[in-house]
Amino acid sequence: MTEEIDASGALEASGLGKKYRRGWALRDVAFRLPAGRICALVGPNGSGKSTLLSLAAGLLTPTTGTLRVFGRPSADPGTRERIAFVAQDKPLYPRFTVADTLRLGRELNPRWDQKTAERVVAEVEVPLSARVGSLSGGQRTCVALAVALGKRADLLLLDEPMSDQDPLRRHRMMGALMAEAAERGTGVVISTHVLAELDGVCDYLLLMGGGRIRLAGEADAIQAAHRLVTGPSGTGGGTPEALARHTVVETRTTGRQLTALIRPDGTTDGEGWIVTEPSLEDVLLGYLRAPDAPPLFTAGARATGTEVEA
């Protein structure tokens, strides 16, 4: 039984949908995130990132489908101990001091680790006696992150944690976060729309758009599945025939030169094209620019739940 639970991964969604009064925020989301991965959750504003994280944190309940956290439904009280969530607006009590806020974490979490939490707070060089309300946005984020790390969860859900940080602190925060994650094998999901801040840090990728998952899987595998090809543009515009047998994500024409992001099907050699391996950012930008490109799931990222196979 426990093996089954572990096999189901940190997060596993099938048929997941969430409808607000204004419409569907998530629709037919199915993916799997193995445990212990550092996952970037990328997508434009309003693509459903925050909704997905809130569902995983058990703050929202799905309208359709299921979202399993370590094999149990996300609303199950037992999952709360295993996840830590930092919401986008970093809710903290403004009249509490930093020390009070850490005390809150200690009072409410049996697995609390005061040392880790204090170390993270020390990163921002904020005295423990400072009131949270007097801190800058970036400092507050660090305090929120300290509470999340002190909880010693197995999965950290961070909703745009770096958006209000200066580059230096962002770098230090990332370093502290990754050190903790590596030490304990903690899984992390970081949502962002700044692609650069996650390059080289994450090994897993979820790209969202319009409430659906568009890319899911190991960062290397996704990168390796794509090629950037450059060649002369055809006369009629549109997709050149030479590329037709591949899955074309996006084409761009600059002058007489055409650049295409493709998922190659078979060889791309000998067709007069210059073929290069794209950076992860190239791939993500390509998908962001082409909202209708077909989604890609690597083998490990497909939901294995029975509901999907049935």
Residues making contact with other proteins (CB under 8 A): 54, 57-59, 61, 75, 77, 80-81, 83-85, 87, 89, 91-93, 95-96, 100, 103-105, 107-111, 144, 147, 151
Nearer to other proteins, 111 or 245 (CB): 111
Q: How far apart are the first and last CA of the chain?
A: 21
Token output for 296: 């890609």
Give the nearest distance from C-beta 102 to other proteins in angstroms. 12
Please identify which residue in the block is written with the tokens 């550092």: 38
Least Å from the CB of residue 177 to other proteins: 17
Nearer to other proteins, 53 or 207 (CB): 53
Q: Looking at beta carbons only, is 148 or 258 nearer to other proteins?
A: 148
Determine the 3-state secondary structure of 78 from DSSP.
Answer: helix
What is the smallest separation between the CB atom of 209 and other proteins, expressed in angstroms? 25
* Minimum distance from residue 152 beta carbon to other proteins (Å): 10
User: Residue 89: what are its φ and ψ, rounded to 5°?
Assistant: -90, 10
SS3 169: helix
Nearer to other proteins, 61 or 253 (CB): 61
At residue 77, the 3 state secondary structure works out as helix
Cβ of residue 44: shortest distance to other proteins, in angstroms?
A: 23
Q: Which is nearer to other proteins, 67 or 284 (CB)?
A: 67
Write the CB contacts of 279 (distance below 8 Å, at least 6 apart in sequence).
Answer: 199, 223
Strands 227-232 and 212-218, bridge-based pairing: unpaired
